Structure 1
Amino acid sequence: MAQSMAYNASAGLSGMLKKGHQSFSGLTDATLRNVEACREISTVTRTSLGPNGMNKLVVNHLGRIIVTSDCCAIVKELEIEHPAAKMLQMAAEAQDFECGDGTNLVVSFAGELLSQTEDLFRMGLHPADVVSGYSSAGEKLLEFLEEMTSEVEGVADGRMKEQLERAIRPVLAAKQLGSEDVLAPLVAEACLGTMSSGGKAAVNVESVRVAKILGGNIHQSHVVHGFVALRGVEMTLTSCENAKIAVFSCGIEASATEAKGTVLMKNAEDLKSYNKSEEKKMEEVIKSIADSGVKVIVSGGSVSEMALHFIERYGMLCLKIGSKWELRRLCVATGSTALVRMGAPTPDEMGWCDDVKQIEVGGKPVTVFNQKDDSGKSKLSTIVLRASTSSVLADLERAIDDGVHAANTACKDGRLVPGAGATEMELSLKIIAFADTCPGLDQYAIRAFGKALEVVPRTLAENAGLDQGSVLAALGAAHASGKKSAGIDIDAMGVATATGIKDETNVLDLYATKSTAFRLAIDAALTVLRVDQIIMSKQAGGGRNAAMDPMAGM
């Protein structure tokens, strides 16, 4: 105790904290280091922004190869250690959880905001002045953004397939350029199939699943209003219609006793009678299930040979599903209740399916539980996805997941804003004009905030192989002349309008996604700028973790 109370005042903070800690403070050692780390992570993801964004090939610690342009997937697999850069990663994950799309906008805009602060600090501004200016500009940005919204009829209702596709298509094009015309109708159909017929339209993102089957091409993908199991049935019977379904989360086999015991058999008659009693009991169980009207039995565990024999005798179809998550989705699709006991289910515990059949897709047997009536009867839709490689399948699945989130967001808030960089350029001009009306040192930070908004159109042009200087100048001139919806038209290699109603580019973004992305990016940037000291304890593990110091080299 006496030793721990000894304090060497001349050692400063190092004399107070435990040996092995690290401390960084001040503008140069803490703030600028954090800014540099955030700029580096935004530089990695920025080239993946937009329809012409490049893919990243990431090999994780398990040797798994991920090829994607999805920002959230990239930053998750990078295993970021730097505490400031990790804030941007958490902001991207929050955006992905909330809206599905716009994660690259969060990281790119936050990184550009922090990059702009380096010039402000060289000018002599204090971090408090920068934080104050960025906060004022952020409030104005959300006000200006709301003024730019327009609502297209049918998107808010969510039940018009064409308008729902219109909201989904830009999201899919940003991830899978060239495949949006195939994927958008599939996602819209799958979402509409799970909507209830009455009340406000709503999409549950867990109700749209993806079944990935290797082989073929994306044009062979289709939607099933129901559940698809990626394995065949266990019986010679492979199809039935108007089927009652019994789902057992346990295995269908003779249960073992809890206490260990030994059966002594003296002759062959004892052995025959023992087997007959076991067969008789199993037959009683299967017969009671068949007498209840069940045509399909689904087991979450193993099915014994004896049980399969009696299921075959009574003309029922049997399927094994090993995953408890897949079993739960089947219960949702068919309205079944997973039973933990062997025996006949009650009418309330049974499920129903219009058509159950085993088909062959790409040389692989799959079992399809299809609800023929898609007017809200099925609570689950499955997109059967085909592609040539597993990497493409995984990336297509991520794009579809973002599209389903976009449909969910459109049903909650159907307001849209011009895309193709039009919104960011218009906001940039308005924020810079707002800075001219502000006295004091805040105006420099507000002007830098408006300059940072140009990162989106500049990156879109750069990723498309255009001359970013000339495109940005032409785009700024178009907005200065009053064309608020002028955006970058990548196909026309120039500048066009993007109102989404009469104009040729027809690029629209969801207002809710855009506003959430801006809010998260601003919050992450301000959190980093408010840090003036970093204190790190010695990492556990000795020499191994010393080499993994997140602040090393910064």
Structure 2
Amino acid sequence: MALRVPTASTSLFKEGYKTLQGLEEAVIRNITATKEMSEITRTSFGPFGRNKMVLNRLDKLFITSDAATIINELEVVHPAAKLLVMASQQQEAEAGDGTNYVIIFASELLQNAEYLLRMGLHPSEIAKGYGIALKKALDILDELVISQVSDLKDVSQISKITKTSIAPKEFGYQDFLGDLVAKAVVSVMPKNPENFNVENIRVVKILGGNILQSTIIPGLVLPREPESVVKSVTNVKLAMFSCPVDIGQTETKGTVLLHNAKEMINYTKGEEKIMEQARVGDLALHYLNQANILVIKIPSKFELRRLCKLTGATAMARLGAPTAEEIGSIDEITVEEVGNNRVTVLRNLPENSSSGKSTISTIVLRGATQNYLDDVERAVDDGVNVIKSLTKDSRLVAGATATEVELYTRLLKFADSNSTTNHQESTSFVGPYIGIDVEATNSKSGLLDAVNNNIVEPLGVKNWALRYATEAAITILQVDQIIMAKPAGGPKLPPKQGHWDDQD
């Protein structure tokens, strides 16, 4: 069977346009691309997922099983596959987890659709069926809620969720890291949890030691020592300057004209470089030491902003006496040794804070290699972002794939089909919370009760993953024609391997 639409008139487009249409050229071609996309990330799914080694265009090496990182660095060019990428990115923004889930599930929907297309069904019929199934699945999800988080300031409640989120990335350390993330989140959780900001959880990576030596510090950690002789102060009043502390130089004025986004990025990097090169003059430092004033250099404007947020200070663009409104405060600044590294810690003590909380909490990660620390940081970020999703919807469902299998069983019944899974009443091990035991040995059934084993996940993660994956699949199915403009002029680059129109 071939699905055909009238060919566009050759006079409609400029010379060089390419048109693909019909079942094989457009629909199946798109499904094949999404399948290839899914096969890349599929083996990285779950607690025993394998790592990918990705070398991006800047020759930066990533060794990770995190699907969000993999797809961001791959530079996918096929338009159908890019739809899956965008769906997974939206899942990351909305729920903080489940990016691989979206890609794999959407691809499976499309692969099943390919079989139905070859059997003679029209894409619109399949899309309609998927829409009905999605609506029913979301209704079933509401019925599978087991409980909800009643207090987002209770470490014991939210640690169950962080452990489940971290387990697929750092299996074996999920209990330790899950507790670490839960404590850090609770330490900065505002009175109204809806105002929780993931940026208030910072991560500092220090080489050496092992992951079990990681810790939490209530405040901001700067991986450098103060410039001054004074290394420790308490009950601090501080002033921030975003300019060099040195003898003044002749002022000049200039205008910077930016033409595109690349120039804007380069300009921002230039600002970072200027801040790195900005110095505290020797003479200024001499007088500051005489006055017993602690001086620390902040090389990043982003860290400067976070420090302003932590202390309530205002960064001043030129030297001068700060006003009372521009001065910040913090309980203590100390230099501490972590491994063989000396770091500066700016800390608010809970007992001295009117709210009892620090506005920023830092997780100090230890590990043997930088790539490993980067991967652990991504797992920590996922754990923090999942808690953010709980501030929108605190309901929980069973993990360990129990919810997916129960959805499968009930949807089959909804479609008047039969199932042979352990969720049916005909078996001895039954229940809607039966999931897969990834640590099972040959002497076990390979199944477990997810709820009794404290393996739970936020309902919001499942809800949005089903939505984004299904909607992406439906969008791709409804494409019956691909129209490609003639590439822009200029020197022609050699074709990339795997480019979506290499076979034309």
Tell me the TM-score normalized by structure 2.
0.88
Give the structure 1 partner of residue 210 of structure 2.
217
Offset of 1:498 from its aligned partner? Answer: 3.1
Inter-partner Cα distance in structure 2 for 1:156 and 1:20: 61
Offset of 1:104 from its aligned partner? Answer: 0.8
Offset of 1:157 from its aligned partner? Answer: 1.9
SS in 2 for 1:165: helix
- 8 A contact 1:224–1:382 mirrored in 2: yes
One-letter amino acid of the structure 2 residue matched with residue 409 of structure 1: S
Give the structure 2 partner of residue 320 of structure 1.
297
- 8 A contact 1:141–1:431 mirrored in 2: yes
Inter-partner Cα distance in structure 2 for 1:551 and 1:362: 52
Output one character per residue of 1:227-255: Cα deviation in whole Å (capped at 9) or x when no partner.
11111111221111111111111111122
SS in 1 for 2:422: helix
- 8 A contact 1:228–1:369 mirrored in 2: yes
More helix by share: 1
- The percentage of counterpart residues that share the same residue type is 42
- 8 A contact 2:276–2:300 mirrored in 1: no
What are the residue-to-residue correspondences of 1:185-224 with 2, within 5 Å? 185-196=179-190, 198-200=191-193, 202-224=195-217
- 8 A contact 1:247–1:299 mirrored in 2: no
What are the residue-to-residue correspondences of 1:427-442 with 2, within 5 Å? 427-436=407-416
One-letter amino acid of the structure 2 residue matched with residue 218 of structure 1: I
**CA distance 1:91–1:353, change in 2 (3 Å):** same
What are the residue-to-residue correspondences of 1:348-359 with 2, within 5 Å? 348-359=325-336
Matched, 1:36 2:29: no
Matched, 1:96 2:92: yes
Unpaired runs of 5+ in structure 2? 1-5, 254-274
Matched, 1:552 2:502: yes
Identify which of 456, 459, 480 aligns with 1:508.
Answer: 456
Q: Which structure has the larger Rg over C-alpha atoms?
A: 1
Offset of 1:543 from its aligned partner? Answer: 5.9
Inter-partner Cα distance in structure 2 for 1:120 and 1:187: 45
Matched, 1:533 2:486: no
- 8 A contact 1:486–1:496 mirrored in 2: yes
Matched, 1:111 2:107: yes
Identify which of 436, 439, 462 aligns with 1:488.
Answer: 436
Inter-partner Cα distance in structure 2 for 1:360 and 1:491: 38
Inter-partner Cα distance in structure 2 for 1:11 and 1:19: 15
**CA distance 1:300–1:63, change in 2 (3 Å):** closer
Offset of 1:13 from its aligned partner? Answer: 3.4
Matched, 1:337 2:314: yes
Matched, 1:238 2:231: yes
One-letter amino acid of the structure 1 residue matched with residue 434 of structure 2: A
Output one character per residue of 1:8-63: Cα deviation in whole Å (capped at 9) or x when no partner.
xx996344322222110011110000001001111111111111111111111121
Identify which of 346, 353, 369 aligns with 2:346.
Answer: 369
Offset of 1:85 from its aligned partner? Answer: 0.3
Q: More displaced, 540-549 or 413-422?
A: 540-549
Give the structure 1 partner of residue 152 of structure 2.
158
**CA distance 1:53–1:11, change in 2 (3 Å):** closer
- 8 A contact 1:92–1:107 mirrored in 2: yes
**CA distance 1:77–1:410, change in 2 (3 Å):** same
Inter-partner Cα distance in structure 1 for 2:179 and 2:228: 35
Inter-partner Cα distance in structure 2 for 1:478 and 1:187: 39
Give the structure 2 partner of residue 465 of structure 1.
none
Q: More displaced, 479-488 or 343-352?
A: 479-488
Give the structure 2 partner of residue 440 of structure 1.
none
Identify which of 287, 298, 319 aligns with 1:310.
Answer: 287
Identify which of 516, 521, 532 aligns with 2:469.
Answer: 521
Inter-partner Cα distance in structure 2 for 1:11 and 1:169: 54
**CA distance 1:259–1:430, change in 2 (3 Å):** closer
Offset of 1:351 from its aligned partner? Answer: 1.5
Matched, 1:177 2:171: yes
- 8 A contact 1:194–1:376 mirrored in 2: no
One-letter amino acid of the structure 2 residue matched with residue 242 of structure 1: N
Inter-partner Cα distance in structure 1 for 2:310 and 2:362: 10
> Superposition RMSD on alpha carbons, in Å?
2.4
- 8 A contact 1:248–1:300 mirrored in 2: no
One-letter amino acid of the structure 2 residue matched with residue 180 of structure 1: Q
Give the structure 2 partner of residue 385 of structure 1.
365
**CA distance 1:14–1:376, change in 2 (3 Å):** farther
Inter-partner Cα distance in structure 2 for 1:132 and 1:474: 27
Give the structure 2 partner of residue 399 of structure 1.
379
Offset of 1:411 from its aligned partner? Answer: 3.0
- 8 A contact 1:300–1:321 mirrored in 2: no
Count of residue pairs brought into register by the alignment: 469
